[in-house]
Amino acid sequence: MEAVLAASAALGACVGLILGLTGAGGAIMAVPLLVFGLHLQVAQAAPIALLAVGLAAALGAALGLRAGKVRYRAAGFIAATGIVVSPLGLWAARRLPNAPLAVIFAGVLGWVAWRMWRGGQPATAAAPAHCPPCLLNADTGRLRWTAPCARALGGTGVTAGFLSGLLGVGGGFVIVPALRRATDLPMQAIVATSLAVIALVSASGVIAAAAGGHLEWRIALPFTLAAVAGMLAGRAVADRFPPRRLQQSFALFAAVVAAAMLVKGLSGLAG
């Protein structure tokens, strides 16, 4: 029992450190570390990861809200659609065998690794200008709510909510790029709003998993507390490292873990 607690805390500290160094995308490493480190199945690891990711995101969102960076109407709308769909992901995760879930997770993690690698490369040519569906009102400083804007934000919430329930990921790797495409918000507001959405959607998933008796508290509590401590430590030293190198290092690490998850899933399917 003590060995499990110590291992859970050590893995949580690793996740928190990655999260603090790399940003919201690093939270996706929680599930594979639990799978390989504690030999949990994806469906068992998912709610534990959600608890840690949600608490870390809540701290970041609180700081953003205090600084006036969170677009709480947009965050509330995206989170509401995500919360509605998240139980569907949880339902699917409980009914899918572990091997297909591992393959799906490997695909998502590989996609995140590719995007992080691209984001860590020097910019070449500027992207062509486009008019996003959600634009800031110059007079009020708020987003103009239109039908295309609502569809874009609602679709983001549906995708993030389903993946949150299915795989135990926060969804920042979905929300941040979607907000960049759909709005003209500054990057600080996008990140803060994304953290608020992650906190709300993760909370709903954790509550649903706990209510169904699917949350291993003896593992989840030390993992979560250590993750928060690791995140704070990572944020304290993140400025000492070049952001581009951090992103590329994380991308390579994520690609290796994705390959290991793929091998694990395919072995399960073959067996």
Q: What confidence tier does 120 reach under pLDDT thresholds 50, 70, 90? A: low
129: Cα within 13 Å, side-chain hemisphere: 0
Q: What confidence tier does 104 reach under pLDDT thresholds 50, 70, 90? A: very high
Q: What confidence tier does 156 reach under pLDDT thresholds 50, 70, 90? A: very high
Alpha-carbon distance of 164 to 149, in angstroms, equals 22
Q: What's the pTM?
A: 0.83
* Average pLDDT, rounded, for the chain: 86
Alpha-carbon distance of 247 to 161, in angstroms, equals 25
**Which of these ranges, 101-105, 199-203, 229-233, 240-244, has the smallest mean pLDDT?**
240-244
For the record, the structure tokens of 259 come out as 């390959």
What phi and psi values does residue 47 have, to the nearest 5 degrees?
-65, -30
Q: What confidence tier does 240 reach under pLDDT thresholds 50, 70, 90? A: confident
**Which of these ranges, 77-81, 110-114, 231-235, 261-265, has the smallest mean pLDDT?**
231-235
Domain ranges of the chain: 2-119+132-270
Strand partners, 183: 134
Mean pLDDT of 210-239: 87
Q: Has residue 153 got a pLDDT over 90?
A: yes
Run of H or E residues at 207:
helix 187-211
127: Cα within 13 Å, side-chain hemisphere: 6
Mean pLDDT of 22-34: 77
What is the pLDDT at residue 245?
Answer: 82
